[in-house]
Amino acid sequence: MTHVHLPPDDKAHWRKELRQRRAALNPPQRHSAARQIAFWARKAGLLRRGRRLAAYVPTGSECSTWPLMLAARHHGCRVYLPLVPRRGRKLSFVRFDEHAVWQLGAYGIPEPRHAEHCPPRELDIVFVPLVGVDGQLRRLGQGGGYYDTTFHFRRARRQWRRPLLVGIAFDCQRVDALPADRWDLGLDLLITESGVFRKIC
């Protein structure tokens, strides 16, 4: 984990720093990391037949999820991708398979169109994009609040239920501690090219 001296409560500075780190990775490093993340997800037993998994279409310097999604489909999982709403901040999830028809959605991100949707509460695992993550698996996102809003229902539960929230990142996006607000989404697991991580107690 990387030690950086930044204002402890300044999310904007953290986003700038961590995006720069992520963007500095070269294509071979990115391709290798994406393959390793798919390997660790399989080894952790996350890609089981019949599970409903959500991932995301990588944009910019985000870690690619294509090897992970293809591995999930190969192992008999149903894979879904988020649709960003034109109004509000609640994501919906649509099936990704050979019948999906692609078009550009919000922010110019490709989105599939498919007859099959899955409510967020019925997903088993959600692979979540992030800008940064710390030892307590506090997630620093892009700042739009879409994942925080969509999975807000997780906070009201006394006992854990699905979906499992799994962050996907490069090792360079891990830091000791990040600023967090009460509404920020916490992760259950993190997967990087180095392996699977849980909260540091």
Gap between the Cα atoms of 53 and 93, Å rounded: 10
- pLDDT over 60 (residue 60): yes
| Per-residue model confidence (pLDDT) at position 187 | 95
- pLDDT over 80 (residue 168): yes
pLDDT grade for 106, boundaries at 50, 70 and 90: confident
* Secondary-structure percent of the chain, ordered helix, strand, coil, rounded to 5: 30, 25, 45
Gap between the Cα atoms of 188 and 190, Å rounded: 7
Q: What sign does the CA torsion over 93, 98, 102, 107 have?
A: positive
Enter the pTM of the model: 0.90
pLDDT grade for 4, boundaries at 50, 70 and 90: very low
- pLDDT over 60 (residue 201): no
Beta strands in the chain, from DSSP E residues, in sequence order? 52-54, 78-83, 92-95, 101-104, 110-113, 117-118, 125-128, 132-133, 139-140, 164-168, 189-192, 195-197
Tokens representing 154 are: 């997780």
Look at the chain and count its residues.
Answer: 201
Query: Within its chain, how far is the Cα of 122 from the centroid?
Result: 17
Architecture of the domain whose range is 11-197: 3-Layer(aba) Sandwich (3.40)
Among the residues of the chain, which ranges form H helices?
11-23, 27-43, 66-74, 146-150
By C-alpha distance, which of 45, 35, 19, 28 is closest to 166? 45
152 or 52, which is more confident: 52
How is the chain split into domains, by residue range? 11-197
Looking at residue 8, what DSSP letter applies? T
pLDDT in tens, 63-93: 999 999 999 999 999 999 999 988 889 999 9
Gap between the Cα atoms of 198 and 201, Å rounded: 9
